[in-house]
Amino acid sequence: MIRCVLLTLASIVLRLINPENLLFGEHSNLSTSQLAALHWYLKWGLPLWAIVDFNSVLNRWAENRWRWATDKSDWDWKSEVAVVTGGSAGIGACVVKELVAHGIRVAVLDIIPLSESFTTKEQHLLRYYKCNITSRDDLHRAAEAIRSDLGSPSILINNAGIGNAYTILAIPQESLRMMFEINIVSHWGTVQEFLPDMIAKKKGHIMGVASLASFVALAGAVDYSCTKAGLLAFHEGLTQELKHRYKCPQIQTTIVHPNWTRSAITSHPAIAAGLKRIGAKVLEPEDVAEAMVKQIIAVKSGQIILGPSISPKIRALPLWLQELIRDSQANVVTGDGSTAGG
């Protein structure tokens, strides 16, 4: 904010002085025309810089629920409990490792056993609950067990997700239903289980893992793109309800949009071949997990874009540019298959 004010003042001063009055020392080799050009660029460049800086300030203010400061004193990481869906392997397991490194106790909800990558020391801070998150009964039983074993969670990370590789005409109904049940409907179940305690304590953090597919629909993965775009809407709506329905802006919400990341999805032959064909850069799950947990430790809300920063702005581009971007990704997902079940 201070930098923004200084830039604005500097731009005002530049508009009040003549180019010849710019001070660059007596040994300056700049000609009158060069001074005039430099003056012009500074006169217009500094205000633009100030506008961009001010926009960033407003964005951070909005992400913080129109509050200038966040009270971090309520957070004692060694006393916090986090729930991570799909935390047995992949990105989820890396997130669990990052959380326990901060002393946070973690409850892992997954249908597959914990990865053998967890050390004995890490296992002391985590509990595994075999749970099918698409079953409300299963989820409720796991939630009750977590509250009994560890206490009420203050952090919920909806990480579980699957990927399909089917065209709209080819996808089996069961695969389509499973995609929506896991990738988006389950978020209603976990939030309904754990949010009430957070509201009662006016403290919590809910994080959802979406994708850059939230902004660009992919041929051959229309169902996946739909669920990720839906998660963006879920995140925005949840944030609004916390502020305006539950009067609880203290609860943080974050949605994460990773680019292609090394996982069961990108390892699927129908997708791996396409990524290789276009020379796509694949993120490491450890890097994604580090960014996610860093956001939690900072007690910040907002969107995390792990990929081209222009991604959220794609929908604001001219239609022809949007279509060129979609065309460039049209052959990444080919063939038939699903990562469901592992």
Catalytic residue among 43, 128, 224, 243: 224
Distance CA 196, CA 194 (A): 6
**Closest CA relative to residue 146, chosen from 57, 169, 209, 155:** 155
* Spatial distance between the Cα atoms of 96 and 250, rounded to a whole number of angstroms: 24
Q: Write down the catalytic residue from 228, 243, 294, 313.
A: 228
Concerning whether 224 is annotated as a catalytic residue, the answer is: yes
* Cβ-based neighbours of 221, under 8 Å, separated by 6 or more: 163, 164, 165, 213, 333
Give dist(CA 191, CA 189) in Å, integer.
6
Contact criterion met (CB below 8 Å) for 241 and 199: no
Active site (annotated) includes residue 276: no
- Active-site positions? 224, 228
